[in-house]
């Protein structure tokens, strides 16, 4: 295989990779209900028609997560005991809910 053919083949493979990644993202984001970056905010950042902003109230039985400096901006730091964030999403509204944490 000549150098030119190898270069064209690499270009085509990279292009195909980008196209498949775009299609995978587009199909998954169409069904996205809410997206929270937890970057010093509890605002729903999805493009969904209905906004499901989160909120947190400090009480004797619950507390809000602290925000700490992370690799990318800030991050919510849950202490594992009584930290939580409440949203207006109702379980009855949807047949299936998946949560992804990265």
What Å distances lie between residue 76 and 47, 48, 99, CA to CA?
22, 23, 16
Instruction: Please give the residue that has the higher pLDDT: either 59 or 10.
Output: 59
Write down the pLDDT at residue 11: 66
Mean pLDDT, residues 3-32: 65
Residue 50, pLDDT > 60, answer: yes
Beta strands in 44-97 (DSSP E): 66-69, 74-77
Q: Quick one: pLDDT at residue 15?
A: 64
pTM for the full model? 0.55
Q: Is 67's pLDDT higher than 60?
A: yes
Distance CA 2, CA 52 (A): 55
């Amino acid at each position: 295989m000549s150098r030119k053919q190898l270069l064209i083949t690499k270009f085509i493979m990279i292009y195909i990779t980008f196209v498949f990644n775009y299609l995978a993202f587009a199909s998954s984001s169409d069904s996205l209900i809410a997206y929270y970056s937890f970057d010093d905010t509890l605002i729903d950042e999805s493009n969904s028609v209905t906004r499901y902003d989160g909120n947190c109230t400090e009480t004797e039985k619950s507390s809000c997560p602290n925000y700490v400096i992370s690799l990318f901006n800030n991050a919510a730091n849950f202490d594992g005991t009584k930290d939580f964030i409440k949203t207006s999403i109702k379980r009855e509204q949807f047949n299936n809910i998946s949560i992804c944490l990265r």
